[in-house]
Structure 1
Amino acid sequence: MYLQQALSLLLLISGANGVSVERSPISSNCLHAVSITTTLNFSSATDFFNLQCNILENKFGPSNVHFYGNDNLTLWDAKQNDVQYACRFEPSNKSDVAAALGVLTETWCNFAVKCGGHSRDPNFSNSIGGVTIDLRRLNSVEVIRNGSAGKIGGGAVTAEVYSALDARNLSFVGGRIGSVGVGGFATGGGTSPLSSRHGWAVDNIYEYELVLPNTTIVNVNEHQHPDLYWALRGAGGGSFGIVTSFLVRTFPQGRLYAGRRSWHNNYTERVVNEVYDLYTGQDNNTRVSADFYYGYVQAEDTFTPAATLRYFEPIDNPPVFAPIDRIPATTSAGQISSLGNISGPGVVPANPPPMRHLFQTMTTFPSRVWLQKSLHIFREELEGIKRVAGLNPQIITYTIPSRAIRSMSDRGGNALGLTDVQGPLFITFLSSAWLRAEDDPLVGDFYDRVFARLEDASRSLDAYHPYKYIGYGRLGEDIFSSYGSDNRKKLLRVQQSVDPRGIFSSTGLCRGGFKVR
C-alpha cells in the first residue's frame, strides 16, 4: 500500500521535475533511493526520503512529522546534532510506531530511532538523510502491582522516571544523568548508583514491549520469547526492533545523601586509595555508591581528581565517607535530596551549543596499582592534544558490584557473559568533549594510544577482563565478542530469527548503534 503511495506521489511530480522511476534491483518489492534519477538540480535521495515523510505526514498529521528545515531538535552530541535528516516522526503510541515502521520497511527507507538521544555518533539516534523516529512522546510512567513494578514508556528519560517515582518514595534502577534515555540505558546493561543494592537495569526488567522488524507488537519476557528476552538484556534494542515500553521492578527508596568532592592533583594517590576502599567495600555496605573522575582542566593546565559520593539513607555526612573526607578538598558539597533532583534536568539545553564527544571503555579486576597506572597513562598521552579547542577529557571509574553480577543469572540470565565472574569488577572509561570537527582525528589517535597502553598495563598486572560495556563503547569496536563466543553466536541466531530481512542490521535500514554481527 505505502509503496503504491510513494510511486503515485513520485509520478505526480515527475512531469514537472524530470524524474524517472524504475524498480530497485535490490528487491522487486522495494522502491530505493538509488533507483530514482533526476535531470534537474536536486538530490534523488533527498526527493525519495521526502516522499516517505509526506506519506507519514498524510497518515499521522503535520503535528507528528517535522521536516528538517522547520525543526528545532537539539541533541547532546554535536556530531549527531549536525546530521541533516529528512524528517523527524513523533509517534504517540505503539501502534503509531508499528505503522510507521511498516511505511519505512515497505518502501525501504533508512531510519534511526531516538529515545533520549545521548549517543555520540551519526545514525545512532538521528538518521543521516532519512527518517528519525523520535519516541519522546512515549514517556509515561505508571506504577502498578501495589508499587512493586512500573510501566515506563520507551521514550522516557531518567529524570522523568526518578521524579515520578520519588513522589511515591519509590525508585528503579536508573542512570546517573537525567537526560539519558531509558531505552538505550535499559537494553545495554544499565550501570547505576543503585547497582550495589539492586543490580543492573537489564536485570530489573520484567518485560519489554517490542515492535518487531515485521511490525508485529510482542511482549517479551522470560516465558514469552525467552531467547529474545535474554538478548535484549544487554545487547541493546537496536538489533531486534523498537522497544516501546518496559515493565521494571520498583522498590522503596526515599531521600538520600549525595555529595561531590574535588581535590588538588597533589592528593590524587590518597584519593585513589580511599576510592578503592569504597569500591571494594560495597559488598559489605550496599548503601554506598561512589564514582571517581580524573579530569584535565584546560584553562588552568592542571589535572583534578573528583568523586561523587552517595549514601542511600537520609544521613548527612555519613561516617563511611570520613576517611576520604580527611583529605583536604578544594571543593566540597553535600545534600539530602532525591534521585530525581540529583540526576539533573531531563532535557538537553540548546545553549550553549552541544560539543563533540567520544567514549571508550574497558573492564578490570580490582587493583590499586591499576587505578594509579591508568591515570599516569592518561596524563602522559594527553600532552599531545592539550591545545585542542574546548578540550574536556575525563577518565572515569565505576564498579560492577558483586550483587549486580549475581543478579545477572535471574530470570534466565542476560547476554553480557559475566555470570561466572567473582566480583566486583571495575569499569574504566574515557569521556572527552571538544569543539571542532577538524580535531576529531587528533582525539581519535589519542584514544588509540591510551587504550593500547591501558590494556597492556592491565594484562601485565593480571587485572584485565575482556568485557566492554556497550553504553560507553566506541564506534568500530566489536562489543559483542567481549560477551563470549557462545553468547555472540546465540545473539546472532536470535537477531536473524526476528529480522531475516536484516532491517536492523549494519547493512539494513536502521544501521546506527552497535549491531550484533
Structure 2
Amino acid sequence: MGKLSQLATGLWLLVGAPAIVQSSNVISNGFGCCAALSQSDGLREKIAYPNTTLYQERLESYYSANAALAPYCMLLPQTTEDVSQFMHVVSSNRCPFGIRSGGHSAFRGANSVDDGITIDFSYMNETTYDVDTTIASVQPGARWGAVYEALDPFGVAAAGGRADVVGVGGFVTGGGYSFHAGTMGWACDAVHNFEVVLANGSVINANREEHADLFQAMKGSSGNLGLVTRVDLNTIGSTQIWGGYLTYDWADRAAVFDAYYHFAEDFAKDPASEVLVSMAYAEGNLSLRTILTNTQAVVAPSSLHNFTAIRNLSDTSTVSSIAEKVPEFTGATPLGVYPNWFSGSISNAVVAEFLEFYYQTLNEYIGKMEAAIAHNSSLSIVGTMQPVPRTFVDISNEMGGNVLGLESLVADGPLASWLFAVTVTEQDDQPAILALAEEFVAKLEAYADSLGANKDWHYLNYAYKTQDPIAGYGDEAIARIKAASAAYDPQGVFQKLRHSGFKITA
C-alpha cells in the first residue's frame, strides 16, 4: 500500500476523532500521524500530501536531492500558533518528525524524514525591523538574501549567512559564520531573543533575562531543544562591505597559505576583515581563490596586504551593500543535485602545511572521482579554510555565551576550520562519490592527527551526518545542552521523535 492510500485509510479511521489522540491510543506510524494532524483546527489546509502539486513543489525546492526525503505529509505553518498545534499533535501521538527551515543542509536525514511528518517553515519567512530598538525580527524560513534586502532600506544589516539561499533557522541555531564574525561573533551570538515552541506546545521567549539557560543552550545545539518561530537579531548600523574573489596561480600557493597563517594569528588587529581560502574544481579546472572582506568598507585594508600583494589572475573586489554582495558570492545554486559536505578543524600553527597536503590529496582524488562518474554527470568540489580566533569566544562571552565549546580549543591560538564539499548531478553517481569523499576526509583527519594538530571540532552547519559535531563541543557544553533538554523537554521529544538533524551526544 502506498503512502497516499495509507493516509486515506488513516483519515477514514480518524473521522470524528479528537485532534489529540490520548496516550492509551498512541499513533506512531506516519499516515496515522498525518490524519491526527488534519483534525487540528487551522492546520488542515496547511498540510501537503503525496501526489499533490504542493508536495512535489516542496520536494523539488531542495538544494540537495540527498536530503529531499518524502514524508507521509508536510505541514507548512504560517503562524506560531500553527507550530504550537503541531507540537501538541506530535508529542501526544508520538509522531516521528523532521524540521526544515531553508533546507540547505546536504545529507540524507538533515532536514526531512521519510517515516513521519516534515514541518516545513518556508511560509514563515518574514523580516521586520524596529527602528526604535534596532532589532530585526526574522522568521525561521526566511533566506538570508531576502533578510538583507528587507533591512537594506533602513541602512542596517545582520550577522547572517554568506550565501543568499541559506535559511535563517538552521543557520543560527547551528552557530552561523558570517562576514561580521570578527565584530559580532557567531550569528547565534548576535541573537537578542528566540521565540520557541517547546515539545509540549507552549510558546516562550528565551533571552538573557528569560529562560537564560535555554537561550545559551540553543546557540549551537541545532534543533535539539525546540522549534524556533522567530529570531530577534541585533543589527549593524551599516550595509556597506568591501570584498570579492582574488584568484591566484597555483605556483603562488605557498605565499597564499603563508598569508592566511599570519592573518589568522593577527586576527584581533583588524576584526572587521576576514579571509576564506578556497580550492574550487568545476568543468575540469581547479582554481585557488581567496574571499577577502571588510565590513567597514575599507578598500584593501593593510591587514590583507599579504594577500593583495600576491600577483593575482583576477580580482572582483568592490564596495557595495551586503544585499548586493551576497548573491555575487553565492553564484548559481542549482536545485536537486547530490552534494556531500564535511567539516573539520586543526591548529592554525600548522595550517600552511595542512593546506599543501589538502591540495596534493585533492588533486589525487579529483582524478579518482572523475573516473567514477558517468559521462553525462558533472563533478564540482569546494574546499575552504576559515579562521576561528579567540576573538569569537570573547564576543560570545560578552553576549551571554553559547555551547560551541571553543574556549579551550583556541586557548593556544586560532583554530582553522575546513570544509570539503563534493557535488554530482546524477543520483547513480552518488554512492561512489560519497565513498571517495569519506576516504578523502579520512586522509585529512589522519594527517591532522599525525601533526598533533587535529582539534576534532566540526562546524555543525558544514558537517556530515557521521561526524557528530556536538560531541566536539566538550563535556561542559554538552552538559548544558542536556540540562536544558531535561528542563524544557523532559519527555525527550526532540531526541526520540525528531528524526532529522544532529542529536545531543549520549
* TM-score, normalization by structure 1: 0.85
1:62-87 per-residue CA deviation (whole Å, 9 max, x = no partner) reads 3x232232221211101123x22233
Distance 1:10 1:231, change over 3 A: same
Paired position in structure 2 for 1:36: none
Distance 2:487 2:114 in 1: 27
Deviation at 1:264, TM superposition (A): 3.1
Letter in 2 for 1:284: K
Distance 1:407 1:320, change over 3 A: closer
Distance 1:87 1:515, change over 3 A: same
Paired position in structure 2 for 1:275: 260
Deviation at 1:346, TM superposition (A): 13
Distance 1:346 1:107 in 2: 44
User: Which stretch of structure 1 is more off in the superposition, 450-459 or 469-478?
Assistant: 450-459
Equivalent residue runs for 1:117-516 within 5 Å: 117-144=103-130, 146-236=132-222, 238-297=223-282, 299-300=283-284, 302-318=285-301, 320-344=303-327, 352-366=334-348, 367=350, 368-387=352-371, 388=373, 389-420=377-408, 421-422=410-411, 423-505=413-495, 508-516=496-504
Deviation at 1:49, TM superposition (A): 5.0
Letter in 1 for 2:347: F
Equivalent residue runs for 1:14-163 within 5 Å: 28-33=24-29, 47-48=31-32, 50-52=34-36, 54-55=38-39, 59-62=42-45, 64-69=46-51, 70-71=53-54, 72-73=57-58, 74-81=61-68, 83-144=69-130, 146-163=132-149
Letter in 2 for 1:329: N
SS at match of 1:77: coil
Distance 1:12 1:253 in 2: 54
Letter in 2 for 1:109: C
SS at match of 2:251: helix
Distance 2:423 2:338 in 1: 5
Distance 1:515 1:8, change over 3 A: closer
CA contact 2:23–2:92 (8 Å) conserved in 1:
no
SS at match of 2:77: coil
CA contact 2:110–2:465 (8 Å) conserved in 1:
no
Letter in 2 for 1:184: G
Letter in 2 for 1:333: T
Distance 2:390 2:131 in 1: 28
Deviation at 1:27, TM superposition (A): 5.3
CA contact 1:198–1:403 (8 Å) conserved in 2:
no
SS at match of 2:122: coil
Distance 1:383 1:345, change over 3 A: closer
SS at match of 1:441: helix
SS at match of 1:354: coil
Paired position in structure 2 for 1:39: none
Distance 2:483 2:262 in 1: 42
User: Which stretch of structure 1 is more off in the superposition, 242-251 or 402-411?
Assistant: 402-411
SS at match of 1:142: strand
- Which one has the largest radius of gyration? 1
CA contact 1:408–1:419 (8 Å) conserved in 2:
no
Distance 1:158 1:393, change over 3 A: same
Deviation at 1:355, TM superposition (A): 0.9
Is residue 10 from structure 1 mapped to residue 12 from structure 2 by the alignment?
Answer: yes
Deviation at 1:354, TM superposition (A): 2.1
Deviation at 1:101, TM superposition (A): 2.0
CA contact 1:162–1:339 (8 Å) conserved in 2:
yes
CA contact 2:27–2:33 (8 Å) conserved in 1:
no
Distance 2:342 2:63 in 1: 17
Distance 1:131 1:345, change over 3 A: farther
Distance 2:355 2:290 in 1: 14
Q: How many pairs align?
A: 481
Distance 1:345 1:335, change over 3 A: closer
**Contiguous gaps of at least 5 residues in structure 1:** 1-5, 14-23, 34-44
Distance 1:272 1:213 in 2: 47
Paired position in structure 1 for 2:3: none
Distance 2:167 2:489 in 1: 24
Letter in 1 for 2:267: Q
Distance 1:265 1:75 in 2: 35
Distance 2:433 2:10 in 1: 48
Distance 1:412 1:326 in 2: 39
Distance 1:96 1:54 in 2: 12
Distance 2:126 2:219 in 1: 21
Distance 2:489 2:105 in 1: 23
Distance 2:334 2:443 in 1: 34
CA contact 1:377–1:450 (8 Å) conserved in 2:
yes
Letter in 1 for 2:197: V
Distance 2:25 2:400 in 1: 39
**Contiguous gaps of at least 5 residues in structure 2:** 1-7, 16-20
Distance 1:95 1:348 in 2: 36
Deviation at 1:410, TM superposition (A): 2.8
Distance 1:346 1:499, change over 3 A: farther
Deviation at 1:213, TM superposition (A): 0.5
Paired position in structure 1 for 2:18: none
Distance 1:512 1:290 in 2: 32
Distance 1:346 1:260 in 2: 8
1:301-320 per-residue CA deviation (whole Å, 9 max, x = no partner) reads x4211111112234445555
Distance 1:52 1:408 in 2: 42
* TM-score, normalization by structure 2: 0.87
Deviation at 1:231, TM superposition (A): 1.2
Distance 1:352 1:253 in 2: 31
Deviation at 1:404, TM superposition (A): 0.9
The alignment yields a C-alpha RMSD, in angstroms, of 2.9
